[in-house]
Amino acid sequence: MTTTTSAAPLVETRGLTRRFGARAAIDGVDLRIPSGVAFGLLGPNGAGKTTLIRVLLGLIKPSAGDAWLMGHAMPAEHAAALASVGAVVEEPRFHTHLTGRENLAIVAACISDAAEARIPSVLARVGLAERADERVGTYSLGMRQRLGIARCLLNDPQLLILDEPMNGLDPAGMLEVRDFIRSFVDEGRTVLLSSHLLDEMERTCDMVAIIDRGHLVRQGRLSELRGGENRVIVECSDVARARTVLQSVNGIEHVAGEDSRTLVCTLPDGTSPAQLNRALVTAGIDVSRLERSQASLEERFLDLTTRLQTPEEAIA
C-alpha cells in the first residue's frame, strides 16, 4: 500500500512464542515493522509487550518461532543484529552517585571513540545538557528516562526499542519524549515503543500492533486500524426506509442504527457520500446530517481486546 510497508521489514517475527511454565506470555506472534516509522505495541497490563521486546532483544529465548532484527536472525546472530539497535527495557538503571555525563562515559568507553565523542550531542538531544553534571541520584523520573534514551543513542542506532517510555511522566515529559521520537523518525530511523496509553500512542505512532493475552490481534497503520475513513453517519427522517433504499446502492453496508434517526454506513471504495445522499433524497427521505467518521483507536482497541474475553472475565 505504501513504499515503507512493502520494503524488507526491520523487525520480523514468525510464530514467536514464549512460555513461562504452562502459560504463554506471547503466543504465535507474527510481527512486521517496516523502517522509518514509530511503531507502537499496544496492550493492557500483562498482555506480553515486555516479553515480546525481551525476546526480540535476545534477553530471553523464545520457546518457539523465529525473529529477525535488522535482517539478522535472533538470537543466533545477536551481535550483528544489535550493533545498530538501542533499547530501554523497563526502568533504566544508573550509578546514582555519578553524574549523567559520567554514566554515559562509562558506557561509551565500552563502545567506541565515536560513542565518546557523541556524549555532548546525545545529552543535548534529550534536553539534559544543562543538568548533565549533576548526580543522577538527584534526577527526576523524567530525567532518568531521558538519560536512558541518551545512553542508547551512543551507538548511533537505526532502531530504538523503548518499553513504556512514557511511564510515570507528566504531560510535559510525555511531550518531550514524543517530540524526540518524532524527530528520530523524521531522520528515517525507526522506533518500536510499547505502552498502554492509547492517546499517547495515537499521537506518537504511525503504526501499531494490538496485543492481548499474548496474541497479536491486529497490526497496521493507525488510519487502517481505526476502521478507515469510509464510515458515514446519516441522520434522516425515516431510518427504516433509508435502510431499504441504501440496500439498493451497490456495496453499502449498514453498520448500525445508532438511534431512531441515525444510521452508520460503510461505503465501498469508489462510492461517495454524495451518491448515498442522492439515493435517499430521490426516494423522498430528508437527510439532515451526513458526516464521515473514523473510529478512535480507543474504540478499536476495546473492540479487539474484549472480544477474546470469556463472559466471567468481561464482568470482572
Ligand X SMILES: Nc1ncnc2c1ncn2[C@@H]1O[C@H](COP(=O)(O)OP(=O)(O)OP(=O)(O)O)[C@@H](O)[C@H]1O
195 binds Mg ion (CB under 5 A): no
CB of 166 to Mg ion, least distance (A): 12
Q: Give the residue among 247, 249, 255 at the shortest CA–CA distance from 293.
A: 255
99 binds Mg ion (CB under 5 A): no
Minimum CB distance to Mg ion smaller for 50 or for 155: 50
Residue 43 binds which entry of ligand X, Mg ion, none, CB below 5-8 Å type-dependent: ligand X
Residue 45 binds which entry of ligand X, Mg ion, none, CB below 5-8 Å type-dependent: ligand X
Residue 51 binds which entry of Mg ion, ligand X, none, CB below 5-8 Å type-dependent: ligand X
50 binds Mg ion (CB under 5 A): yes
Q: Are 36 and 4 in contact (CB under 8 A)?
A: yes
Please choose, out of 43-51, 104-112, 165-173, 239-247, the segment that lies near Mg ion by the rule CB under 5 A: 43-51
Cell of 134: 549533576
Cell of 41: 505495541
Q: Are 25 and 51 in contact (CB under 8 A)?
A: yes
Cis peptide before 62 (omega within 30 of 0): no
CB of 22 to ligand X, least distance (A): 11
Minimum CB distance to ligand X smaller for 34 or for 43: 43
Q: CA dihedral defined by 57, 7, 181, 13, rounded to 10 degrees?
A: -30
Minimum CB distance to ligand X smaller for 40 or for 100: 40
**Burial bucket for residue 220 (CB in 10 Å: 0-12, 13-18, 19+):** middle
CB of 45 to ligand X, least distance (A): 4
CB of 49 to Mg ion, least distance (A): 5
d(CA 100, CA 81): 28
Residue 190 binds which entry of Mg ion, ligand X, none, CB below 5-8 Å type-dependent: none
CB of 158 to ligand X, least distance (A): 24
> Which residues in this chain contact ligand X in the complex, by CB under 6 A?
20, 25, 43, 45-51, 196
Please choose, out of 6-14, 41-49, 121-129, 277-285, the segment that lies near Mg ion by the rule CB under 5 A: 41-49
d(CA 135, CA 174): 23
Which SS3 state, helix, strand or coil, does residue 209 take? strand
CB of 205 to Mg ion, least distance (A): 17
Question: Helix 113-125 crosses helix 141-152 at what angle (to 10 degrees)?
Answer: 140
155 binds Mg ion (CB under 5 A): no
Q: Are 72 and 81 in contact (CB under 8 A)?
A: yes
> What is the sign of the dihedral through the CA atoms of 131, 137, 140 and 146?
positive
Where on the chain is the footprint of Mg ion (CB under 5 A)?
Answer: 49-50
